[in-house]
Structure 1
Amino acid sequence: MAKTKTNKLKIINDPIYGFISIPNPLIFDIIEHPYFQRLRRITQMGFSNLVYPGANHTRFHHAIGCMHLMQKAIRVLRTKGVEISDDEENAVSIAILLHDIGHGAFSHALEHSIVNGISHEEISIKFMKSLNNHFNGKLDLAIAIFEGKYHRKFLYQLISSQLDIDRLDYLKRDSFYTGVAEGNISSDRLIAMMNVKDDELVIDQKGIYSVEKFLIARRLMYWQVYLHKTGLVAENMLVKVLKRAKELTKKNIEIEASTALKYFLNNEISLKDFDDEKLELFSRLDDYDILHAIKDWRNHSDFVLSQLSTMIIDRKLLKIDIQDEKHSKEEITIIKNQLKEAYKLDDDLVAYFAFTDMVSNQAYNSEIPIKILTKKGTLLDIVKASDQLNLQALAKPVNKHFLCYPKKMKLA
């Protein structure tokens, strides 16, 4: 009986954009690879579903959406006379498809706990190079563009800039799944206004209002969704749980965990040590490992591990107090003393239940400007081209300080 060939020109039904076509067999095979399929098990928004119950979409959704928008952007630029070869189109599509492949379980939580000193961007490059070996060098150009080493700058800017394809998808997608209408940007309109001038990605002048809305939407989404206090405290508690698990493992205290999670709890991994074997183990680590582990850790004999794990699973989170100024040493001391009294903990353990940190957001970075192409053919920074006074304010970083502590404790 003859083997039937797989149809590699599939279509995917996306709730945001409708039908998305997979453009060629190579991209189909990359999507089918276990490294990419892993993204189905990495949530796009971490613990945001504790605030917005619909926010259960994954990095897989986002990556496929980005590939679709990149295809649109290439078509628009070609209609405006920008020459883009088929090889460049394929490479930039692969680069955006794989831009988040290095994200760990619960996205940023792993970067601050058990896989220290290695960013998800660095791990993405390692995944891409491994895939390149698997596909016999067919990802060479995609990697060069992703790393900003290709001579055509605008192709890199489509992947990473102040107004890139990544942001156009995640703002619209996250707005849809959270139900937060303020983030619902017009990605189609913004892409239709894209152009290239002097090898730079720019926006035609008539798209200026769409850019203004994009920047304001980004600011609102950060404070209303990405840095929402409940998601913020949950992610920080997860970081504390994983750090405690790693600390106990170092003391040879038995910790139940999957093979992949156990490996990273038992070993200190640096960037230079992150070889193909470590990459393979990392590829087996996803949200399911973490959730399964903290469900088990609720019954662990260690008070800190069991208490924090139970609080996360039951959504009985620490209280979080956010303000513009740093919390005073007196406030922190009051909380810590109450904790010591209530739970009979020493200073080291108290730090797991009472801690401070800072979050920062800058909606627009004027050092990497979004450039508007005027009708006269000149380029202007969006802040100067816009008559919106508040765009200037969006270029200033906003810092907020927070203090987390158990709800039973009182600041004063």
Structure 2
Amino acid sequence: MGVRCGRVEHYANAKLVEEKVFKDPVHRYIHVRDQVIWDLIATKEFQRLRRIRQLGTTYLVFHGAEHSRFNHSLGVYEIVRRITDDVFRGRSEWDEQERLLILCAALLHDLGHGPFSHAFETVFHTDHEYFTRQILLGNTEVNGVLRKVSEDFPDIVAQVIEKKYPNELVVSLISSQIDADRMDYLQRDAYYTGVSYGHFDMERILRVMRPREGKVIIKSSGMHAVEDYIMSRYQMYLQVYFHPVSRSAEVLLNNILKRAKQLNEEDYQFALEPTHFKAFFENSITIEDYLALDEYILLTYFQFWMKEKDPILSDLCSRFVNRKLFQYSNLNPEEEPERFNRLKDLFAQMGIDPEYYLYHDCTTDLPYDFYRTGKESTRLPIFLLMPNGEIRELSQESLIVDAIAGRIKSDHKVYFPKEILHDESIDANLRNELHKLIG
């Protein structure tokens, strides 16, 4: 890592005079002993994560889901700290020189997320992983802290987060099928949404983790704890992450941003000029532009845009702010193109723009990676260490995991304003046909 001598080495190894702790509802306490970690938490780029929700629009379904990426990032850091300090320490396969590197990567892995990440990235074609790297390497407070470790340290941290670091063991701690990222967000999301699905025996999993041959492996005696973890993921995906009402809120958000972008292209005169969006509309985004935008800013614009003269933007913002979400119906346009096209025609005949009021959504478009093996996965699968020393992929040994691995089917829905089904100002024949098509 280039951390070898003098003042630089001193800072890399510097400890706080007194350990700092954060009270946490998931891990009870989050412990900070390293000066570098404490300084990174204090940067404005990391503090910005307080203003980015972990679950985007899900708070409109599960009212407790107000937790932030700040909470989650601290949680991922704490799990990795426990693994490096308690589980891996003293094992020949683990290099203590990489401890600070993986702690920094764990803490900063979500640094580049934008407001309401998924919808925002879809409309403006941004990539949170790209902006994480830009924040790490750019003229930022985070970069300044990392460069005090060594000049190349920001780039090395970025390599870990981008999954390009040569030691896959380090990468796997924050990006694999059983990484600290997933172990934190499952428990944290379950806690804040109030559901029971995301709970599993993390203590047992940590006890049976071992560093081996460039990856984390699990002793076979802990297989049942891992099965419980996989089932927790399965249930959370179906009951929380793929929840159709949360997806409805995201549809509204997507269409608000799309409409604002369209109006800007048409030189529409906003009552409140979208100053914070200009760089995104024009695809000329700087790090400063990106960091200046958070969910508080978006919601402020939405409040003002409720009074815009453009009826579509005004209506969509009012629906989102006041939680007047779209209704949904099961329909896959790829399988039933005639049905979907007829719906678009009906909407147009009713004077309702289908571009903004009839939306097809599919769960495979959502940013959640359920357990897959081999080439189908973007993350290292889970490996078991058998009593005879052989290493086996989890689904080869677990009937439960084999039964569900990669088997979540795509869920296609169309979203629309439910009031049109009962709007008596619309021709009765059109409404009757609409009822038949939507079901």
Matching residue within 349, 364, 370 for 1:363: 370
Partner residue, 2:36: 26
Q: Which moved more, 1:395-404 or 1:86-95?
A: 395-404
Distance 1:350 1:92 in 2: 47
Which amino acid is the alignment partner of residue 187 of structure 2? K
User: 1:257 Cα deviation (Å)?
Assistant: 5.2
Partner residue, 2:4: none
2:343 matched to 1:335? yes
What SS class does the counterpart of residue 23 from structure 2 fall into?
Answer: strand
Query: Map of 1:155-304 to 2, 5 A cutoff?
Result: 155-255=170-270, 256=272, 259-265=275-281, 267-269=282-284, 278-304=286-312
Distance 1:386 1:183 in 2: 20
What SS class does the counterpart of residue 111 from structure 2 fall into?
Answer: coil
Verify the 8 A CA contact 1:8 1:24 in the aligned structure 2. Answer: no
2:385 matched to 1:373? yes
- Calculate percent identity across the aligned residue pairs: 30
What SS class does the counterpart of residue 139 from structure 1 fall into?
Answer: helix
Distance 1:369 1:324 in 2: 31
Verify the 8 A CA contact 2:94 2:211 in the aligned structure 1. Answer: no
Distance 2:333 2:35 in 1: 54
Partner residue, 1:91: 101
Which amino acid is the alignment partner of residue 374 of structure 1? M
Partner residue, 1:3: none
Query: Map of 1:5-20 to 2, 5 A cutoff?
Result: 9-20=19-30
Distance change (3 Å), C-alpha of 1:366 and 1:209: same
Distance change (3 Å), C-alpha of 1:384 and 1:330: same
Q: Which moved more, 1:75-84 or 1:90-99?
A: 75-84
Query: Map of 1:18-167 to 2, 5 A cutoff?
Result: 18-79=28-89, 81-114=91-124, 116=125, 118-130=126-138, 131=140, 133-135=143-145, 136=147, 137=151, 138-167=153-182
TM-score, reference length from structure 1: 0.89
Partner residue, 2:5: none
The 4+ residue runs of structure 1 with deviation greater than 4 A are: 6-9, 323-327
Q: Which moved more, 1:358-367 or 1:194-203?
A: 358-367
Matching residue within 301, 307, 318 for 1:310: 318
Which amino acid is the alignment partner of residue 82 of structure 2? K
Partner residue, 2:431: none
Distance change (3 Å), C-alpha of 1:251 and 1:324: closer
Which amino acid is the alignment partner of residue 197 of structure 1? R
Distance 2:35 2:86 in 1: 23
Verify the 8 A CA contact 1:331 1:411 in the aligned structure 2. Answer: no
What SS class does the counterpart of residue 52 from structure 1 fall into?
Answer: coil
Distance 1:258 1:300 in 2: 12
> Gapped runs of 5+ residues in structure 2?
1-15, 375-379, 422-433
Over aligned residues, Cα RMSD in angstroms? 2.2
What SS class does the counterpart of residue 10 from structure 1 fall into?
Answer: strand
> Gapped runs of 5+ residues in structure 1?
1-5
Partner residue, 1:396: 407
* CA displacement 1:130-161 (0-9 Å, x = unmatched): 25642323434322322334332111011111
Verify the 8 A CA contact 1:359 1:400 in the aligned structure 2. Answer: yes
Which amino acid is the alignment partner of residue 364 of structure 1? Y
Distance 1:149 1:303 in 2: 47
User: 1:103 Cα deviation (Å)?
Assistant: 0.5
Verify the 8 A CA contact 1:362 1:396 in the aligned structure 2. Answer: no
Matched residues, number: 392
Verify the 8 A CA contact 1:9 1:28 in the aligned structure 2. Answer: no
Q: Which moved more, 1:233-242 or 1:391-400?
A: 391-400
Distance 2:106 2:136 in 1: 11
What SS class does the counterpart of residue 114 from structure 2 fall into?
Answer: coil
Verify the 8 A CA contact 2:163 2:175 in the aligned structure 1. Answer: no
User: 1:79 Cα deviation (Å)?
Assistant: 4.8
Which amino acid is the alignment partner of residue 298 of structure 1? M
* CA displacement 1:272-313 (0-9 Å, x = unmatched): xx5xxx111111110011111111111111111111111111
What SS class does the counterpart of residue 398 from structure 1 fall into?
Answer: coil
* CA displacement 1:149-175 (0-9 Å, x = unmatched): 433211101111111110000000000
Verify the 8 A CA contact 1:320 1:403 in the aligned structure 2. Answer: yes
TM-score, reference length from structure 2: 0.84
Distance 1:259 1:384 in 2: 54
Verify the 8 A CA contact 2:256 2:317 in the aligned structure 1. Answer: yes
User: 1:391 Cα deviation (Å)?
Assistant: 2.9
Matching residue within 350, 355, 358 for 1:354: 358
